[in-house]
A and B are shown apart, each in its own frame.
Chain A
Amino acid sequence: MSTADITAEHHDEHHDHGPAKGLSRWLFTTNHKDIGSMYLWFSLAMFLVGGCMALVIRAELFQPGLQLVEPGFFNQMTTMHGLIMVFGAVMPAFVGLANWMVPMMIGAPDMALPRMNNWSFWILPFAFGMLLLTLFMDGGAPNFGWTFYAPLSTTYAPDSVTFFIFAVHMMGISSIMGAINIVATILNMRAPGMTLMKMPLFVWTWLITAYLLIAVMPVLAGVVTMMLMDIHFGTSFFDAAGGGDPVLFQHVFWFFGHPEVYIMILPAFGIVSAIIPTFARKQLFGYASMVYATASIAFLSFIVWAHHMFTVGMPLAGELFFMFATMLIAVPTGVKVFNWIATMWRGSMTFETPMLFALAFVILFTIGGLSGLMLAIAPADFQYHDTYFVVAHFHYVLVPGAIFSIMAAVYYWLPKWTGHQLNESAGKFHFWMSFIGVNITFFPMHFIGLAGMPRRIPDYALQFADFNAVASVGAFIFGLSQLIFVWNVIQNIRSGKPAEAKCWEGAEGLEWEVPSPAPYHTFTTPPQLEGAK
């Protein structure tokens, strides 16, 4: 990255060491910018791998009948696509953004625990390398869905399940250590004068996300350990024969799983809350309620998990409770959407690439949220559950939701990282191709789900054919468009007009006080904050 160049030229610092040279720089770095970059490159690579798997899926589903892959391999693709995207693309990307931006945003020189930070990252390539290599095992890669319900994932699983469990443990350790690091950094290393209620919202959302991670990743570790015990050590947690219960698996998994999806969206909320004020040239509306709304969403996320299990045979009281609690989450989420719109209202907007992605986020995430509200209605959910309606819902909140926010963040902060202004037309081209592709792919899925197409099937009845064909075309458009993104990023690193410290006219925040590209070490002495922020 270009931060290597600056050490010779821009020396604001008192001490003299720049980054090491060569491979050791990356293996042993404790610098939050280096580690952030590694997370982001890793996430991009995983995004492309997971994306290829999605294209295998959509290619097979282009027409009814089996043309390209066998059902067993198809199940491996759907499973691995989910695992790679959730744990390898979305989460590491947000962690990478946190690593790069949180210290700068709070005026800290680095993260609180830099060596642990390095280790958190380096676990990931090994965990995912192992997971991907299971594709070559006899019996194939994990094929039981990213939600890996027992006993399909215990008694009936291929041998690769053990490596899957190991990989999940490794990723979990990485996330837990990363989250501890974030909390320690934010609570202890803010510049003097930056009270909690003066932090940028991206920092707030990451603080809350970190608490969610610390609370639920151990639960995931617990459930995969119970699986391991059932598979190899003769226990019966999820096996009725020994007095256990497959539904126990679902409860424990979703107790992790629901907060997990909020872990994947709260940082996105923070990003959008940084970008919209910048390009509307107007302060974020309702800062305090944004903080409280985020905290409420995080709290509520712990008490709604069984809305993923409405058809499992829960007692009526349980179904009613989870239905009502889930509907409630719409309130703080709605508050956030209204606040973003109120920020835009009577602002002075321009529509550079980051803003385009942020606005698309607001619109399309809201659509995903509304389909989520429909899913919350338990009696109706009996018709939606495990169909493409659910697939449409979660892809809307994850792709034009989380992924678009990540791209928005990358476009927003790239000039700060590289010192080069964005190539706006290239960025806009990527945006429009992605926006069109994403909608062509996922909007039809609402309809085929309602019409009765189940999830996780490699082949379908004829009435679903037309919209499946449309979705597959959209998927290829969207997938190929991401190559534009890769090109844009690499281009920006290597060339472009020099960017100023404050890359965007309306940008506010400590990160815009340091030069672009940001020096290898920033805020080695804490900044002096002027009054209210």
Chain B
Amino acid sequence: MSLAANTKKLVARLVLGTVLMFGFGFAMVPIYNVFCEITGLNGKITRTGEAEGPLVVDQDRTIKVRFISVFNEEMPWEFDPMQKVYRVNPGQMQQTAFLAKNPTANNMVAQAIPSVSPSEAAQYLQKVNCFCFDRQPLDAGASAEMPMVFFIDPEIPEHLDSITLSYTLFDITDQQQLVEAKKDNNDKRSTL
């Protein structure tokens, strides 16, 4: 083949390679999530919806589940678990709630970030319904009771008998305002 043809082929391959690498970068987002959910790395928890099929409750074991609330930086909300410690059987559905109050004079938005210790327990703590999935807005002075339903997977290994679930509350009012502003702009544009 002539030099020109060879060069063209090489350029085509290099361009394709670049496009593939770029696409791979985008694909990392879902791949990373899936990987962390499967392995439970870093205490990330599976977002489950309803449990599949009836659960077999293991009456012979109790697992101690402790809830902790942590406030990032100067987050001024009050945020406490309704009950701090539960002793549940694996497979038993348990309902609980967190009481949140915004005592300031401003409307705010919070995000609760969960973290589980020990990290290998994360995959066994199944949250059927959790407020941590969504952003939580609270007006000035308002309170809310934020429900959560969970169960411990009966498959949980013998040596794990105590799980700690912490929620770190972050103030995302500023970021939310940015998002709202952007949305408003987009809406305005689309009505033109």
Contact = CB atoms under 8 A, between A and B. Distances in A.
Q: Does A touch B (CB under 8 Å) in the complex? A: yes
B39 to A, nearest CB: 8
A234 B175 contact: yes
A241 B171 CA distance: 8
B103 to A, nearest CB: 20
Nearest to B36: A245
A240 B170 contact: yes
Interface size class of A (residues with CB under 8 A): 10 to 19
Contact of A315 (B72, B113, B120, B172): B120
Most central of A241, A242, A245 by chain B CB within 10 Å: A241
B42 A241 contact: no
A359 to B, nearest CB: 46
Interface of B is mostly: mixed
Nearest to B43: A313
A313 B119 contact: yes
A398 interface: no
B42 A240 contact: no
A111 B69 CA distance: 61
A247 interface: yes
Contact of A247 (B42, B170, B175): B42
Interface size class of B (residues with CB under 8 A): 10 to 19
Contacts of B117: 313
Nearest to B40: A315
Interface in A176-211: none
A254 to B, nearest CB: 15
Contacts of A247: 42
Contacts of A245: 42
Q: Which 6 A-B pairs have the closest CB atoms?
A: A241-B170, A240-B113, A315-B119, A315-B120, A241-B111, A245-B42
A241 B72 CA distance: 9
Interface in B134-192: 168, 170, 172, 175, 178
A334 B57 CA distance: 56
A531 interface: no
A89 to B, nearest CB: 32
A243 interface: yes
Interface in B28-67: 41-42
Given A234-B178, A315-B120, A241 B113 contact: yes
Interface string A313-331: 1011000000000000000
Interface string A279-299: 000000000000000000000
Nearest to B171: A241
B105 to A, nearest CB: 23
A243 B120 CA distance: 19
A241 B41 contact: no
Contacts of A316: 120
Nearest to A317: B120
A243 B42 contact: no
Contacts of B113: 240-241, 243
Interface in B67-110: 72
